[in-house]
């Protein structure tokens, strides 16, 4: 019964390109229009068929993690590109969209983000071994979208260019006080303090990142200009000349956007500048992936721009600039995936094969949603005053080649 049901679902879903499926009983079906070679999946566990029908996205990810779904001679990227491209075209049977609608209406409950939950969710992902992240990330441990000012930049250069781009948008001057909400391993805080002469307070909820960033500041001799706190932004008081947040808004949750931007406004001085860098959707609001929510980013949610504009409007802050970094994160994720694969032998000494399949699935699907669906990265430049920064973008792009010089 479940095999026939899944067969009907796939016949409805796959219309662009092709997908070859080998079922547990050995039956082989090819779905789609056959206009290109069909990547293959092999379903080895009969019990998985029912789960694939009930919750296809979650079950597919779990099946791949557990080895119950393999890709034969194909690549995971090839299989998922066909699948994601067809989902993006709206080819799923209507019942799945009604289920999504119910989950969307339950967001105030499902995305509740108390102080305790926030700490637990952050620890789930960011308190993995630093040695593992070093094998995948750039030298500065930037775990967010890089900025490929020119396509030929290396990952390290593109991450340096990202920090330089953010620094220009913050319109820094020596001696200013900067707040970094969600400072990670401290790379941006250290760069701003070292290269621009500012004093930075970094906030993180990860004990691992707090300890590493504090140690890095001391090792760089910047402990008098960089303070890393293990603290939720909601607990902070004071005023800052600049506020920056890179890759943290994705953990806030839609019901808390008003609270987040209200806090940014209250912490920002009247003539200050804030820069919020976040993954976003170039489309209407929807739900977070159930697989990503369960295994990678519990409590995570990627906002649409429309969900951010209204809570910002209630703070009275001006939109000084909004930039969409469209394919930069896809390029970043491809670099991470390549480094992940290059260092598999060392990763296997730390984690088992199920973890490795989980992480490859995570990096692959995230890369593809930037290439095939509506995901982008927004940089929102905000201020209380409309003239907090120059009235044109010329100050961001001075001389030709400056971006490359900053990266190098």
Query: What is the set of active-site residues?
Result: 366
Beta bridge partners of 181: 203
Per-residue CA distances from 86 to 1, 52, 65, 76, 369 (Å): 24, 16, 22, 16, 12
Burial code (b: 16+ CB inside 10 Å, e: under 16) for 68-84 equals: bbbbeebebbbbbbbbb
DSSP 91-159: -S-HHHHHHHHHHHHTHHHHT---HHHHHHHHHHHHTS-HHHHHHHS-TT---S----SSTT--HHHHH
Rounded to the nearest angstrom, the gap between the alpha carbon of residue 21 and the centroid of all alpha carbons in its chain is 30
User: Token pair 């067809």 is at which residue?
Assistant: 86
Q: For residue 146, with 0-12 CB atoms within 10 Å meaning exposed, 13-18 middle and 19 or more buried, which class applies?
A: buried
3-class SS of residue 407: helix
């Amino acid at each position: 019964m479940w095999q026939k049901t899944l067969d009907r679902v796939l016949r409805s879903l796959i219309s662009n390109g092709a997908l070859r499926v080998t079922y547990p009983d050995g039956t082989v079906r090819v779905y789609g229009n056959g206009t290109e070679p069909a990547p293959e999946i092999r379903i080895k566990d009969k019990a998985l068929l029912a789960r694939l029908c009930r919750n296809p996205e979650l079950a597919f990810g779990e099946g791949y993690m557990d080895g119950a779904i393999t890709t034969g001679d194909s690549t995971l990227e090839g299989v998922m590109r066909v699948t994601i491209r067809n989902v993006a075209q709206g080819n799923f049977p209507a019942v799945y969209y009604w289920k999504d609608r119910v989950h969307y209406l339950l967001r105030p409950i499902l995305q509740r983000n108390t102080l305790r939950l926030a700490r637990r969710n952050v620890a789930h992902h960011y308190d993995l071994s630093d040695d593992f992240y070093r094998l995948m990330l750039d030298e500065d441990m930037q775990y967010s979208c890089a900025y490929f000012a020119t396509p030929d930049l290396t990952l390290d250069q593109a991450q340096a260019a990202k920090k330089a781009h953010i620094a220009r948008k913050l319109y820094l001057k020596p001696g200013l006080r900067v707040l970094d909400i969600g400072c990670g391993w401290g790379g941006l805080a250290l760069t701003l303090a070292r290269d621009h002469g500012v004093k930075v307070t970094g906030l993180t909820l990860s004990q691992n990142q707090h300890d590493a960033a504090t140690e890095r500041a001391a090792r760089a001799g910047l402990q008098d200009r960089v303070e890393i706190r293990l603290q939720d932004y909601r607990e902070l008081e004071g005023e800052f000349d600049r506020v920056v947040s890179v890759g943290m808004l994705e953990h806030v949750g839609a019901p808390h956007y008003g609270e987040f931007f209200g806090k940014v406004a209250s912490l920002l001085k009247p003539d200050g500048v804030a820069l919020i860098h976040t993954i976003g959707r170039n489309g209407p609001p929807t739900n977070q992936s159930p697989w990503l929510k369960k295994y990678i980013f519990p409590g995570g949610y990627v906002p649409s721009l429309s969900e951010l504009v209204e809570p910002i409007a209630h703070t009275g802050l001006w939109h000084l600039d909004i930039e969409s970094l469209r394919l930069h994160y896809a390029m970043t994720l491809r670099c991470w995936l390549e480094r992940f694969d290059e260092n598999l032998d060392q990763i296997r000494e730390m984690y088992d094969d199920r973890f490795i399949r989980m992480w490859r699935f995570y990096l692959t699907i995230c890369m593809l949603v930037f290439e095939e669906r509506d995901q982008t990265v927004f940089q929102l430049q905000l201020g209380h005053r409309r003239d907090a920064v120059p009235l044109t973008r010329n100050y961001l792009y001075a001389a030709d080649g400056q971006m490359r010089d900053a990266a190098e």
